[in-house]
Amino acid sequence: MHPLISAALAARERAHAPYSHFKVGAAIEDETGRIFTGCNVENASYGLSLCAERVAIFKAVSEGAGKLIRVAVVADTPSPTPPCGACRQILWEFMGDVPLLLANLSGQHETVQIGAMLPRAFDASFL
């Protein structure tokens, strides 16, 4: 198993999902090989919840990560589940068109580019 998927799997176990029971883990690698993890954290006011991918990005930024080069997302779904639209935007802005490793608890996995998940993405180049 890819080490980034293993890290995302471990992060998933720490998810706080008492309402949806949908636990997700994410792991992001920077150019130095450091790995930053995140899990989804729900709130009774759903709009205040955060997805695992955004938690991992924000942790990487706050901990002084170098260039972010790869991300993995793990969920307990029949097939590997891609990030939501908000997370795709954040991943694009902070990472660009890097590999996105998707996996589930059954061992299925696939790799796609973030750019394929968010065609014609909005970023600072439009400002």
- Residues with catalytic roles: 53
Instruction: Give yes or no for a contact between 27 and 14, defined as CB atoms under 8 angstroms apart.
Output: no
